[in-house]
Chain A
């Protein structure tokens, strides 16, 4: 039966996250962007909401909730509405947790998941993007060669929290396949580079990685002999990022809408002119359009169906949408949108990243 209202449980989660985003994230996001850092209280506060470790089985210390990509998109939208850097930081451990929960071997689950069920935030992450303008996740240039274990070679970038993580899930090409490998901190051949400096998501610590003949044991291949389902992971990541784009766009829409009603020019609020009002209307339509497309993709993933087409369309649509909407956000505010006293320029910078962001979040 077709329906568009979140379940009671989903509403509860969304409301909790919304509250946190409003009361905590929104109070500090500008400072964090300027400082390039997120205070531990914020991250630990979010951790206490139990969003990330909830899908870890109970016997391993988690809450044992059934995983739902759809619920994930709902909460990721709210977090990204609060702040994209913080959202990516808060959700980073999922990059390792979800693939292991869904596709890991029993041994992998036992070995890596309990440490991620503590009272405090524990960093974990995945390395996906490579520093090439034509980076193609269908043909990772990072390779894994089978010998007694696996030898990894290649370069990665935009790896969130790499410096603080005990292990990193590395995506690599293994012959024709795309597989993930668990690389523990300190493994020989794993070099974590300097913290990256980007146009946006400035508060998120991301790093470049170098893998030089980095050897991992055979049992570190995600899913063991069976391996993992790359397409599904890529799709779960697409819907996560698309929902974050929706959150960022919504933030810009709401802020510029409210501003347009306050700001007067030529004796009237600027919102009472069609040139402004129509931009705002288009922003609202596009935000909803992108959200609905993404919900449909996530819904399909929850049914364990192949949703590659839907997820790619949703991601690509959201990538375009968020740029348009955040650009309008700045435009509606004129010069006041361009200065860093107001947040729309920050959302505009963050928005530009989405076409680049792949595999950087997962729900």
Chain B
């Protein structure tokens, strides 16, 4: 836990001079100081007639940790779920605008959603392991891909559990039920389950809200490590957490993307009044 500050330094310096170009009008910029992995362009989302996302423009940098903060109900989860089309499951939800993954529109009709979701993994607020063995939990995605070879499966499972810093704790009990783990272990199991598919992007929606500080610390440590292999987007209510783990931070309010910049800038010299009010605790 002593390293996150150091981790955030590198992008900070590289984007310092460009930071004025980031922010709420980030969609207008022509080039970014980082490789863009995910991008939302004029994204509007309606639940029935209520507009939950309003002209959202944001670019998520590759192999960095990006945090979404904002008051409850501002649309963080909604935006996150747009990135792997989880909102397709919501009955009366309609979407206008574009979401680009490596410059391809993921809402294009030719896109195969299951394949997309393998590229963009997701971890939910509450750990939701399947009522299966630890091994089967991690192997679940691979099995749906049709992998049957025992050796490949067990290698991938071990790699994923190692990646989620859970291997040492469960290597002797891979056959026991995933639900027999503690909450923090379950959340790491779910992360292992997601990274077993080697996705490009990992979306995490308040992954630590159900965990105690020690488990939270473990997950945060993990995220910083995983950043080297994946692009990570995390929704959090905990501003310390955002400051600790993320390289970039986006502030949302009432469905709008108010400000997006590198983490230090956003927390030290926010451009928007609303951001300032929020991070100083005046609302939200």
Is the pairing of A and B real? no
* Chain A interface residues (CB < 8 Å from chain B): none
